[in-house]
Structure 1
Amino acid sequence: MAALNSALLLLSVCGRRMFPVSRIVGGEQASFGKWPWQASLRQWRTSTYLHKCGAALLNENWAITAAHCVENVPPSDLLLRLGEHDLSTDDEPYGFQERRVQIVASHPQFDARTFEYDLALLRFYEPVTFQPNIVPICVPNGDTKFVGRTAWVTGWGRLYEDGPLPSVLQEVSVPIINNSVCENMYRNAGYIEHIPEIFICAGWNKGGFDSCEGDSGGPMVIQRQSDKRWLLGGVISWGIGCAEPNQPGVYTRISKFRDWINQILQF
């Protein structure tokens, strides 16, 4: 019964912003609480935890990120910060929550060479409490109508290739493109890339808007038209350079992994 109540609670809150809305290149600063499922995945470095990748909150116990962000990293070296907005200040309308990671469940087929199956789930030691700046994202049933839609990508990654890291969460909008168009764009840029359906691409021919280093593992979200909830379309996986022409961002396609995600979330 408790599990059922938890599932019903999740359905009632996922993908809904509580705040009125007033790796990212060419984007702009997000307003506080606009993307409340965004998390900062941090790794222990000598004396402190430093931002490494993005992640997204799935429910009170689990977050999702890219497998390449956590490969060969023991769970004890990882920390998730939820509800963060500006890394440089604690003076915000609501505080963040930090959770140590108990379990790292990387997809068993993850291939570090091709980045296929680039997905990992992170279970916290203690559940998080939802609040206006900490809300889970919804997992889509399918994504047949995503191509041509506008997606939003968020993160604290570099503002351009080899550029500085921002302190405030950045956002950028990119169009979803189909995989054969994506492969052709890379071909036009001089790269032969096989992009199977477990990936989903988003980006512009002309470049200029993209995720970048430090954004990996973060969410690419799309608003469902029927009820205006936000869905997790993809998790930032790879690209070549940042915001280069004909080199769109490539994301792990979440709809292809719904069953695997649900299976892990039972733990």
Structure 2
Amino acid sequence: CARDVLVHNPRVRMAGRITLGYSVDKVSAPWHAGLRMRSHDKTFCGANLISSSWLITAAHCIRHFHIEFKEIFAKEKVDIFLGTNSCNGESGVKYGIKSYVVHPKFGARAVYDNDVALVELDRSVTFTEDIRPVCLQPSSIINNNYLTHKLGHKIGRVVGCGQYSEFRKAAPEYLREVYVPYVNRDDCASVNIGQGNFTDSMFCAGYSRRNMGDACFCDSGGSLTMRLSENHPWVLVGIVSWGVGCDRSNHYGYYTHVAAFENWIQNYTRSDRDP
């Protein structure tokens, strides 16, 4: 799986909102894919390459498609671009969708509960420096080494093509990144997000102060990755899922807990996973 060849220092990057922060070189996040609605010429979500044929994204990118575009999602309507940091897919490799699977319990206990989906590409990917799958780890490793404060504060890296801010809807030209700290579960549940909306299928990250950095609209489906050191690869820990606005005071960003779906993911992708 992919290693970052363009190393950034999270301490320097903490202040940038994802769309006001820093552009990402395409080899720095070679797993990132852009999902574009062909007829609207719009990138509406991100996704993440996890094997030669499969992407993982947020279920709401598919199930809530009609809210954005006033029509039902269909695989024939969407183009997928890999191998580019251009938010419109320019210079990237275009793929279609062969099939997709939305988690059967999406929305079961809360609107964004089990917010995960798998997308099968219409042909296998040829791995290059610009196109590589992101690493996955078992839930035991994720929970004990990444989603914990036992070994110090954990910083997640989020990349996406979301809009500049909650009230500025223009999208950036290039893929951007922001670094956000993991937040313990008690703090995630204590803010005003409505009873029962924070479930065990998700975690939260970010800042309680505004203008410190966050994901925003159209970043959905993209990655929150972590790594143990600069000598370790980036590991997919979360998928951008939901939040109350973007970058607001006393609110965090909420991410699908990828490792919670370890078995479900393997059931579909086991024979295709990069060794």
TM-score computed with the length of structure 1 as normaliser: 0.84
Equivalent residue in structure 1 for 2:29, among 35, 39, 51: 35
Percent identical pairs in the alignment equals 30
Question: Is the aligned partner of 1:203 residue 2:203?
Answer: no
Runs of 4+ aligned residues of structure 1 deviating over 6 Å after TM superposition are none
Secondary structure in 1 matching 2:38: strand
- Aligned partners of 1:254 and 1:212: how far apart in 2? 19
Question: Is the aligned partner of 1:15 residue 2:5?
Answer: no
- Shift, 1:192, TM fit: 4.4
199-208 or 236-245, which moves further after superposition? 199-208
Within a 5 Å distance, the mapping from 1:145-184 to structure 2 comes to 145-146=145-146, 147=148, 148-163=153-168, 164-184=170-190
Question: What is the RMSD computed on CA atoms of the aligned residues?
Answer: 2.2
Question: Is the aligned partner of 1:67 residue 2:59?
Answer: yes
- Shift, 1:83, TM fit: 1.2
Equivalent residue in structure 2 for 1:246, among 250, 254, 274: 250
Secondary structure in 2 matching 1:260: helix
- Aligned partners of 1:34 and 1:227: how far apart in 2? 14
Equivalent residue in structure 1 for 2:102, among 102, 106, 111: 106
The code of the aligned residue for 1:28 comes to Y
- Shift, 1:87, TM fit: 3.7
Question: Is the aligned partner of 1:222 residue 2:221?
Answer: no
| Contact 1:115–1:237 (Cα < 8 Å) also in 2 | yes
- Aligned partners of 1:221 and 1:140: how far apart in 2? 11
Report Cα offsets for 1:44-91 as digits up to 9, x if no partner. 32xx6421101111111011110110124111112210012124695x
Taking a change above 3 Å as real, the CA distance of residues 115 and 133 of structure 1, as seen in their structure-2 partners, is same
Aligned residue in 1 for 2:86: 86
- Aligned partners of 1:134 and 1:226: how far apart in 2? 20
Report Cα offsets for 1:87-143 as digits up to 9, x if no partner. 4695xxxx4211100101110101185210110100011111111111100112122
The gaps in structure 2 that reach 5 residues or longer are: 9-16, 64-71
Secondary structure in 1 matching 2:187: helix
Number of residue pairs matched?
244
- Aligned partners of 1:149 and 1:159: how far apart in 2? 25
The code of the aligned residue for 1:43 comes to M
- Aligned partners of 1:88 and 1:78: how far apart in 2? 13
The code of the aligned residue for 1:38 comes to H
- Aligned partners of 1:120 and 1:104: how far apart in 2? 7
- Aligned partners of 1:78 and 1:226: how far apart in 2? 35
Equivalent residue in structure 1 for 2:115, among 113, 118, 125: 118
- Aligned partners of 1:140 and 1:119: how far apart in 2? 16
Aligned residue in 2 for 1:58: 50
- Aligned partners of 1:63 and 1:181: how far apart in 2? 31
- Shift, 1:28, TM fit: 1.8
Equivalent residue in structure 1 for 2:127, among 127, 130, 134: 130
- Shift, 1:27, TM fit: 2.6
Secondary structure in 2 matching 1:33: helix
The code of the aligned residue for 1:138 comes to C
Aligned residue in 2 for 1:76: 76
- Shift, 1:32, TM fit: 3.6
| Contact 1:97–1:128 (Cα < 8 Å) also in 2 | no
Aligned residue in 1 for 2:67: none
The gaps in structure 1 that reach 5 residues or longer are: 1-13
Report Cα offsets for 1:238-266 as digits up to 9, x if no partner. 00100111211100000100110010114
- Aligned partners of 1:65 and 1:88: how far apart in 2? 18
Taking a change above 3 Å as real, the CA distance of residues 78 and 88 of structure 1, as seen in their structure-2 partners, is closer
- Aligned partners of 1:25 and 1:204: how far apart in 2? 16
74-83 or 211-220, which moves further after superposition? 74-83
| Contact 2:6–2:25 (Cα < 8 Å) also in 1 | no
126-135 or 138-147, which moves further after superposition? 138-147
